[in-house]
């Protein structure tokens, strides 16, 4: 363990005794490392999974592509819901994971996977207590009930997400069985021919290729909010929003897993936030809307019930002309808003004594604004207004204020499908051996599409499945053969040779071209095996034989006869090239 090999000769390619499906052109600066578990991504999911794997005895390598760890977790408010914690007990609050699970399921109208939600709810308390032991200082928020939560169970870390990641990172560096490689992006997964993951490739800051062999790999690379192309493909509706996203969230973990046949789900789900100032881009106090403020677009019209979650509001605001709206508040809402002074200092607050004056100041239609105010007062009187808003203030009186607002995008909520053991699943439900995933890289459970989101789900997903992935990856170590052998240096006579082998249903005929003494191409020009099974095996094996300049390759499982027939045919052809 803990060995780094530096290859001293230039190799055209390398091959493990489990042949790799990745083409690697290894240079003399290729580092070969090994570990029991490799974690890709040093945000919440990666940090927790590395620690949990280490606690369970595994030798871990953690790769982070940025110069620092933390990801979106570091940017977060550090708030997670958990039921049945010691903090709730101290506050005399009785709560259960079952109730938490029901609350999480509700915003999606029960369309998300219940097994994931149950797992989250059952493990959330453990995460809070475990982090408490590590040094995270939690405060149970009892000031107001978070939207959608039926109990006081939001635990916020002092110092928010930045402090959580600091505590976890300090712990990572204190463990002698975890090695951290910063500025070292994972670049792909290494697999056997039958798609068992046996390691990763990466590139260090000097551009050197690193091959890390591992019994298990954990993908903790987060979602794709920072990948414009993927955003345009999967969630075009929120691409105009201000990107308050972690720069590392570029989606490659999802792409690699899909290449191995992994299933994905909820790819158009996301979390955004509105209101944010369209000038400073700072997040604004959401409670202004909950206490009575309204949103008015540039057509001087309201467009939504403002008592929605901040993520749902982000979708409504971004859909307005110019992707903006005005948050309009009255004297009473203003008086309860401690940040109002700051908004004034920032120069984002307009103030007026009448709706017409306010409209004029922000460039909207005066008559329209008078009508909006009159309708709103009427709604307050009858208890329900446009868009069925029933959460209304007691009155609506001068002075009035307006702030130009827009939405931001924070993270995506779709990704790789996993089971409750955090193992990555193929589209047919089969497990991809050796591959685990946790956090934003996986299927979320706030909604099966769109902006529905429950506060705390993102961090919970990262921490709980990080824990599960780390524990299981450490528990299921297998003895992957870690020998590395160079490409064969055998020299053949140049020419094109034909050979014959026996497949499952008949002969396999090949032509092998040798140039400059090396096998340059293997072409099968006839076979009688089932094309759906045989063709991909033939393609893989032919490439492999060319890569290592030898027919001594591992067979493709599930296509044994075709594999052996092809190998036999190539050997037959090469007899004439000796
Ligand atoms: C501004 C903001 C506020 C938020 N507030 C909250 C909140 O209060 N509560 C809540 O529950 N959720 C919140 N969220 C969402 C939450 O932060 C995320 O859902 C969660 O942090 C995801 O954790 P993660 O470990 O999966 O991803 P991240 O924390 O983003 O970590 C992923 C890491 O992987 C690295 N990486 C990616 N690709 C590679 C690669 N190829 N090789 C090596 N490293 C790679 C990245 O650089 C990054 O460090 C917020 C998000 C944002 C942006």
What's the pLDDT tens digit per position in 446-478?
988 999 998 899 999 999 999 999 999 999 876
* Residues whose CB falls within 8 Å of the CB of residue 80, separated by 6 or more in sequence, listed in order: 124, 127, 128, 154, 155, 456, 459, 460, 463
In the prediction, which pLDDT does 40 show?
98
Ligand 1 surroundings by CB, under 6 angstroms: 40-46, 63-66, 69, 71-73, 75-77, 79-80, 185-186, 220-222, 244-246, 248-249, 252, 410-411, 439-440, 456-459, 462
Q: How far is the CA of 76 from the centre of ligand 1 (A)?
A: 8
Mean pLDDT, range 249-274, rounded to an integer:
97
Q: What CATH number labels 488-575?
A: 3.90.1010.20
Contact 183, 248 (CB under 8 A): no
Nearest residue by C-alpha to atom 2 in ligand 1: 76
Return the best residue to mutate from 411, 415, 443, 444 for the ligand 1 pocket (most ligand atoms within 8 A of CB). Answer: 411
CA-closest candidate to residue 196, choices 431, 507, 371: 431
Reported CATH class of domain 270-409: alpha beta
Kind and range of the H or E run holding 403 = strand 400-412
Residue 337 CB neighbours (<10 A): 19
CA of 169 to the centre of ligand 1 (A): 14
257 phi/psi in degrees, rounded to 5: -65, -40
Single out the residue of 402, 64, 356, 389 nearest to residue 204, CA to CA. 64
Per-residue pLDDT at 3? 31
Q: Return the beta strands (E) in 158-250 as ranges.
A: 178-181, 186-191, 197-203, 209-219, 242-243
- Rounded to an integer, what is the distance from CA 451 to the centroid of its chain? 16
Which percentage of the chain shows pLDDT scores above 70?
Answer: 93
> Which atom of ligand 1 approaches the CA of 45 most closely?
25
Is pLDDT at 14 greater than 60 in this prediction?
Answer: no
Q: pLDDT per residue over 273-311, tens digit each?
A: 999 999 999 999 999 999 999 999 999 999 999 999 999
Q: Confidence band (pLDDT; 50, 70, 90) for 182?
A: very high
Strand pairing of 400-412 and 349-352? antiparallel
Query: Three-state SS across 10-38?
Result: CCCCEEECCCCCCCCCCCCCCEEEEEEEE
Distance CA 570, CA 497 (A): 9
Residue corresponding to tokens 């039921």: 83
Distance CA 314, CA 410 (A): 10
Beta bridge partners of 451: none
3-state secondary structure at position 427: coil
Ligand 1: residue of 124, 458, 468 to mutate (most ligand atoms within 8 A of CB) is 458
| 476 C-beta neighbours (distance < 10 Å), count | 16
Grouping H, G, I as helix, E, B as strand and the rest as coil, residue 247 is coil
Sorted by where each begins, the domain ranges of the chain are 1-73+162-269+413-486, 270-409, 488-575
Which atom of ligand 1 is the closest one to the Cα of 185?
Answer: 42
Pocket test for ligand 1, best of 39, 40, 41, 453 (most atoms within 8 A of CB): 41
Q: Ligand 1: distance of its center to the CA of 246 in Å?
A: 6
SS3 helix, strand, coil % of the chain, rounded to 5?
35, 25, 40
Is the predicted pLDDT of residue 524 greater than 70, yes or no? yes
Say if residue 2's pLDDT is above 50. Answer: no
Q: How many CA atoms lie within 13 A of 453 on its CB side?
A: 29
Distance 13 CA to ligand 1 centre (A): 35
Which comes out higher in pLDDT, residue 473 or 564? 473
Residue nearest ligand 1's atom 53 by CA: 410
Ligand 1 atom showing the smallest separation from residue 46 Cα: 25
CATH number 3.30.559.10 is the correct assignment for the domain at 1-73+162-269+413-486 = no
Judged against a pLDDT cut of 60, whether residue 479 lies above it is answered with no
Confidence bin at 361 (pLDDT 50/70/90): very high
Kindly state the helix (H) or strand (E) to which residue 533 belongs, with its residue range: helix 531-548
Q: Count the Cβ atoms, other than its own, within 10 Å of residue 405.
A: 22
- Output the residue whose Cα is nearest ligand 1's atom 38: 221
Rounded Cα distance, 33 and 4, in Å: 5
* 321-345 residue pLDDT tens: 999 999 999 999 999 999 999 999 9
Token reading at 523: 């072409």
Cβ atoms of residues 435 and 260 within 8 Å:
yes
The pLDDT value given to residue 146: 84
Span 233-255, pLDDT tens digits: 999 999 999 999 999 999 999 99
- pLDDT tens digit sequence for 19-40: 343 434 444 456 889 999 999 9
Closest-CA residue, ligand 1 atom 12, reads: 458
Q: Could you tell me the distance, in angstroms and rounded to a whole number, from the CA of residue 44 to the centre of ligand 1?
A: 7
Q: How far is the CA of 145 from the centre of ligand 1 (A)?
A: 25
Give nearest CA residue, ligand 1 atom 6.
76
Q: In this predicted structure, what is the pLDDT of residue 557?
A: 60
Cα 439 to averaged position of ligand 1 atoms, centre (Å)? 8
Average pLDDT on 10-26 reads 37
First-to-last CA distance in the chain? 40
Contacts of 155 (CB under 8 A, 6+ apart): 79, 80, 81, 82, 85, 87, 128, 138, 139, 140, 141
Phi, psi of 341 (to 5 degrees): -60, -40
* Residues 450, 477: Cα–Cα separation, whole Å: 38
Q: Give, in order, the Cα–Cα distances in Å from 444 to each of 79, 231, 452.
A: 17, 16, 11
Q: What are the tens digits of pLDDT across the range 541-555?
A: 998 899 889 998 877
| Per-residue confidence (pLDDT) for residue 28, from 0 to 100 | 46
The predicted model gives 162-167 an average pLDDT of 98
Give the DSSP letter string of 309-327.
Answer: -HHHHHHHHHTSGGG-EEE
């Amino acid at each position: 363990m803990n060995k780094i090999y530096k290859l001293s000769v230039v190799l055209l390619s390398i091959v493990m005794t489990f042949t790799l499906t990745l083409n690697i052109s290894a240079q003399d600066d290729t580092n070969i490392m090994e570990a029991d578990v490799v974690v890709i991504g040093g945000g919440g999911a990666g940090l927790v999974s590395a620690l949990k794997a280490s606690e369970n005895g595994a030798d871990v390598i953690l790769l982070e592509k940025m110069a620092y760890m933390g990801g979106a977790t570091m940017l977060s408010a550090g708030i997670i819901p958990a039921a049945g914690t010691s903090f709730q007990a101290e506050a005399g609050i009785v709560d259960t994971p079952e109730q938490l699970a029901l609350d999480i399921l509700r915003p999606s109208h029960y369309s998300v996977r219940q097994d994931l939600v149950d797992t989250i709810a059952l493990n959330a308390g453990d995460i809070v207590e475990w982090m408490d032991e590590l040094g995270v200082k939690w405060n149970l928020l009892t000031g107001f009930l978070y939207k959608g939560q039926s109990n006081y169970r939001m635990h916020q870390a002092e110092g928010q997400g930045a402090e959580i990641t600091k505590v976890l990172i300090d712990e990572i560096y204190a463990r002698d069985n975890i090695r951290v490689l910063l500025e070292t992006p994972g670049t792909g997964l290494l697999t056997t021919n039958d798609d068992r993951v046996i390691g990763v490739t990466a590139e260090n800051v000097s551009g050197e290729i690193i091959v890390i062999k591992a019994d298990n790999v954990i993908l903790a690379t987060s979602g794709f909010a920072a990948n414009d192309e993927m955003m345009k493909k999967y969630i075009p509706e929120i691409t105009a929003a201000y990107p308050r996203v972690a720069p590392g969230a570029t989606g490659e973990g999802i792409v690699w897993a899909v290449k191995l046949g992994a299933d994905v789900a909820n790819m158009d789900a996301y979390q955004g936030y509105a209101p944010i100032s369209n000038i400073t881009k700072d997040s604004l106090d959401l409670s202004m809307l909950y206490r009575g403020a309204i949103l008015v677009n540039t057509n001087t019209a309201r467009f939504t019930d403002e008592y929605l979650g901040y993520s749902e509001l982000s979708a409504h605001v971004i859909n307005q002309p110019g992707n903006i709206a005005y948050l309009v508040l009255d004297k009473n809402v203003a008086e309860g808003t401690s940040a109002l002074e700051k908004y004034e200092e920032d120069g984002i607050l307009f103030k007026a004594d009448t709706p017409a004056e306010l409209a004029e100041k922000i460039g909207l239609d005066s008559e329209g604004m008078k009508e909006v105010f009159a309708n709103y007062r009427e709604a307050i009187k009858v208890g329900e207004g446009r868009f069925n808003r029933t959460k209304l203030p007691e009155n609506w009186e001068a002075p009035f204020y307006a702030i130009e607002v827009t939405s931001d995008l924070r993270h995506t909520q779709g990704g790789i499908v996993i089971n409750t053991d955090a193992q990555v699943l193929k589209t047919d439900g089969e497990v991809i051996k050796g591959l685990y995933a946790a956090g934003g890289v996986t299927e979320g459970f706030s909604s099966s599409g769109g902006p529905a989101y429950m506060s705390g789900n993102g961090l919970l997903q990262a921490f709980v499945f990080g824990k599960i992935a780390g524990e299981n990856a450490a528990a299921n170590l297998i003895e992957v053969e870690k020998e590395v052998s160079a490409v064969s240096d055998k020299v053949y006579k140049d020419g094109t040779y034909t050979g014959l082998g026996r497949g499952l249903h008949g002969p396999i005929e090949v032509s092998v071209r040798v140039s400059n003494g090396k096998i340059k191409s293997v072409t099968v020009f006839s076979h009688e095996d089932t094309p759906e099974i045989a063709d991909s095996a033939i393609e893989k094996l032919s490439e492999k034989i060319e890569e290592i300049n030898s027919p001594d390759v591992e067979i493709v499982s599930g296509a044994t006869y075709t594999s052996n027939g092809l190998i036999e045919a190539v050997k037959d052809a090469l007899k004439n090239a000796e």
